[in-house]
Structures are given as structure tokens and as C-alpha cells.
Amino acid sequence: MGLLRKIRDVGRVAEPAAPRPDGEVLPRARELGGSVQVRCIDAGSCNGCEVEIAAAFNPVYDAERYGARLVASPRHADVALVTGPVTRNMAEPLRRTVAAMGEPRLVVAVGDCAINCGEFAGGYGVEGAVADVVPVDLAVPGCPPEPAEIVAALRRVTGR
């Protein structure tokens, strides 16, 4: 019984939320009401950014406490996190995925490759950056960006 009594006496212990990032909340993000469903799309990356996105949603960085939640279907998503340069084979699927998302929707380009093709610029199989294929609302630079930067971008989207 000692353990249960200790749990009852101590209660729930959690760290306070970090202060909001310096960046403003995106204008269209206000329509989302502080909570977003996020769909990750790999348009042809090396998977470095995907590892960092997974870390952003793990218990250490915990992007969910700021109102961002991963979903499997673009029909349920408000935000698309797109990584990598857009390859020729992924250009049309990326357009269709973003078109399948409901309004209002936001597209976030994650990583240098998504922003300007990075190391893959000029490659024969590269269509271009994400902004060349779909409109981008927010960019997270880095190769790969750190999980804290991804969480800060999501906080700009949720306003938390």
C-alpha cells in the first residue's frame, strides 16, 4: 500500500511548458483553433528529417502537448510536413495528397532539401523543391533540422 499512498500524495508531476517561440502565429493557423492533425509526406528524402520528426513527437520533445498530432490519412490532416526534394515520381502524389486535405490547410517544408533541394539540386530525378510543386506556408531549415526547431514550427502553427 505504500506505493499507492505515495502516488496519491505526490500527484501528477510534469514540467511546465517552455515559453512560446519568438515567431508569430501564422495568420491561417488561427482558423485551426490551437490543435492540428499532421500528415508527414516523404517526397524523396534521405530519411534524416523523418528521424528528427519522429524525435519531435517522442516523450522528450512531445509535440503533442502543443496540440499537434500525427495522423495516417491526408483526409484527416490540417498540416502536411513535407520532407526531401520532390522527385519526378512523387510530384503528382504530393499534389493529390495536399488536394485531399481539407481547408484550411498548411504545408510545412522540413529540411534544406525540401526548401531548395539541398544536396540533390540538379539531380536527374528531381522535380524541384516543395514550393515548386505545392504552395508552402512555413519552412524549417536545417540538414536535418533539430526536433526542437520542428516543435517550434508546429507551435507557430498551433499558436500554443
pLDDT tens-digit map of 46-65: 899 999 999 999 988 989 98
Inform me whether the pLDDT recorded for 15 exceeds 60.
no
Sheet with 79-83: list strands edge to edge: 68-70, 36-42, 79-83, 106-110, 138-140
Q: How far apart (Å, rounded) are the C-alpha atoms in residues 85 and 150?
A: 18
pLDDT tens digits for range 65-109: 888 999 999 998 999 999 999 999 999 999 999 999 988 889 999
Global pTM?
Answer: 0.81
